Amino acid sequence: MMVADMNRLEQAARVSMSGFQDAEPTPAPRSSHLSLRLGAIALLAAMALAFARQLF
């Protein structure tokens, strides 16, 4: 289960328990987005290197 899904479930639980919905949802922390992007870039770079190594 992804963090966004867990946040939606938590918000739905709060709404059902209190009957009050927040005007705007809280944004996800920027640091998690940055680390995910860096991880994806590192993974793509490793895959590209492995692919290039097989060609030569």
Q: What is the pLDDT of residues 23-56, one digit of tens each?
A: 566 666 566 678 889 999 999 999 999 999 998 7
pLDDT class of 4 with cuts at 50, 70, 90? confident
Cα 31 to Cα 39: distance, rounded to the nearest angstrom:
12
pLDDT at residue 45 in the model: 96
Q: Are 28 and 4 in contact (CB under 8 A)?
A: yes
CA–CA gap between residue 40 and residue 46 (Å, rounded): 10
pLDDT score for 52: 92
pTM confidence score: 0.43
